[in-house]
């Protein structure tokens, strides 16, 4: 069994992997570029196998208790009137809002705190060089330190620098023609517990979601081919959004006022990560660095938690054969990832009409889909259940690690 493992990235996938690897008896170190653990972020949900993993970690109840309290999703018009609505529990947990709806930072902290008891965390540093041989991986950190590990797990984001360092230009991204910004704004007295989604002409949308911290989470989206906006400075990105949404209507003035003041800001042109392989020697990818499905898929966090659990389980089962562990991990997760990435590119276009007529047609279609007779089938369009790996495969490894 490999004894020392480096995990790069201290978000959901990285912390989950560190927790389980530590549980299985590995010597684990986690390196994170940020100077400290990062809170913040927008709403995420955990379903299916991901929720089962949290249950096995003893974190399911805490995740539910720390949820956003979001009660459903409503599409509204410029006057705030509800055009269509899907409530939590209408059809199980298949709608746009899941029962386990939680802020990314809150979930990451739930994972980080117990993981920190099982692994060493190195903040404010990153991987600058990787040289591997048949027996291990020599890593040079940006801070100047060097160390040798039996394996390296890259659990970074969609633009992972470590992935590019090891795998070069193997990623063939699938661009989704949608640019999104997420940020925190002050809560208003008339905010309710629903995710309110507003469409404006020109392929624009704005939404406001509740959280459990006395604030609200805003999202601005623009449909259209990206032109490098994700590489701009934060100041330029904010100015671009302010110009695009100046005449959008509904609560855009409030959202833009919050945009100007927020320090919790994330902006990206959505693209899926498409890698022909997830491992190279003793280095392996997981989470968004391996397969980012984009928020449009609705299962990114579920994939991150499930994938990290499967990877740790296969390493525990392999008894030191890293190549066998990585191959089994990829075989187990590929079907789930393939399903999760199957979001049709026409989806963002249909959800972001360019004309008032198109918006009226969208509201009519959503209103029909929200009717009780068809709501169950329609809700599954927002949160399709992908193929799940056989999680029972890892129960023996878990029992063995305890003994």
- Report pLDDT digits (tens) over 12-54: 999 999 999 999 999 999 999 999 998 878 888 888 889 999 9
Is the per-residue pLDDT at 381 higher than 70?
Answer: no
- Report pLDDT digits (tens) over 75-89: 999 999 999 998 876
pLDDT value at position 45?
86
The C-alpha angle with vertex 281 and arms to 293 and 10, in degrees rounded to 5, equals 50
Question: Which of 65, 71, 57 lies closest to 111 in space, CA to CA?
Answer: 57
Q: Are 6 and 33 in contact (CB under 8 A)?
A: no
Residue that has been written with the tokens 């911290």 in this structure:
213
Q: Which class is domain 4-71+99-173+273-344+392-402?
A: alpha beta
The domain ranges of the chain are 4-71+99-173+273-344+392-402
What stretches of 245-321 show up as alpha helix (H) in DSSP? Answer: 252-261, 288-291, 300-318
- Report pLDDT digits (tens) over 186-219: 999 999 999 999 999 999 999 999 999 999 999 9
What is the average pLDDT score of the chain? 91
Is the per-residue pLDDT at 320 higher than 60?
Answer: yes
342 Cβ contact partners less than 8 Å away, ≥ 6 residues apart: 384
pLDDT band, very low/low/confident/very high, at 384 (cuts 50, 70, 90):
low
pLDDT value at position 402?
44
Torsion over CA: 68, 72, 77, 79 (sign)? negative
pTM: 0.91
Q: Are 103 and 43 in contact (CB under 8 A)?
A: yes
pLDDT value at position 86?
87
Q: How many CA atoms lie within 13 A of 367 on its CB side?
A: 11
pLDDT value at position 345?
85
Cβ neighbours of 228 (radius 10 Å): 7
């Amino acid at each position: 069994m490999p004894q020392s493992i480096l995990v790069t990235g201290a978000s959901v996938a990285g912390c989950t992997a560190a927790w389980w690897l530590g549980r299985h008896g590995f010597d684990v170190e986690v390196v994170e570029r940020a100077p400290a653990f990062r809170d913040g972020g927008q709403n995420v949900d955990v379903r299916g196998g991901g929720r089962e993993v949290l249950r096995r970690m003893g974190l399911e109840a805490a995740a539910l208790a720390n949820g956003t309290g979001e009660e459903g999703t409503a599409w509204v018009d410029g006057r705030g009137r509800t055009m269509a609505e899907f409530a939590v529990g209408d059809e199980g947990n298949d709608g746009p809002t899941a029962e386990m709806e939680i802020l990314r930072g809150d979930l990451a902290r739930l994972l980080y705190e117990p993981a920190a008891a099982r692994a060493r965390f190195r903040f404010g540093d990153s991987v600058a060089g990787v040289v591997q041989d048949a027996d291990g991986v020599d890593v040079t950190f940006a801070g100047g330190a060097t160390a040798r590990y039996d394996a390296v797990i890259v659990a970074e984001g969609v633009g992972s620098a470590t992935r590019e360092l090891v795998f070069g230009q193997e990623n063939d991204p699938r661009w989704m023609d949608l640019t999104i910004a997420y940020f925190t704004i002050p809560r208003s007295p008339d905010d309710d517990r629903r995710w309110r989604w507003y469409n404006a002409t020109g392929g624009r949308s704005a939404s406001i979601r509740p959280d459990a911290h006395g604030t609200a989470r805003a999202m601005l989206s623009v449909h259209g081919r990206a032109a490098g906006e994700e590489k701009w400075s934060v100041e330029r990105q904010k100015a671009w959004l302010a110009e695009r949404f100046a005449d959008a209507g509904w609560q855009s003035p409030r959202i833009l006022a919050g945009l100007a003041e927020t320090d919790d800001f994330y902006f990206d042109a959505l693209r899926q990560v498409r890698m022909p392989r997830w491992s190279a020697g003793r280095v392996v990818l997981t989470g968004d660095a391996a397969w980012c499905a984009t928020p449009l898929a609705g299962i990114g966090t579920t994939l991150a938690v499930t994938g990290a659990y499967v990877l740790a389980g296969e390493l525990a089962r392999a008894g030191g054969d890293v190549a066998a562990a990585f191959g089994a991990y990829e075989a187990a997760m590929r079907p789930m990832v393939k399903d999760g990435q199957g979001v049709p590119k026409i989806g963002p276009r249909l959800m972001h009409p360019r004309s008032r007529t198109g918006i009226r047609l969208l509201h009519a279609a959503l209103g029909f889909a929200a009717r009780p007779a068809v709501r169950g089938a329609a809700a599954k369009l927002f949160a399709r259940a992908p193929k799940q790996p056989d999680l029972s495969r890892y129960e023996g490894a878990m029992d063995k690690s305890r003994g």
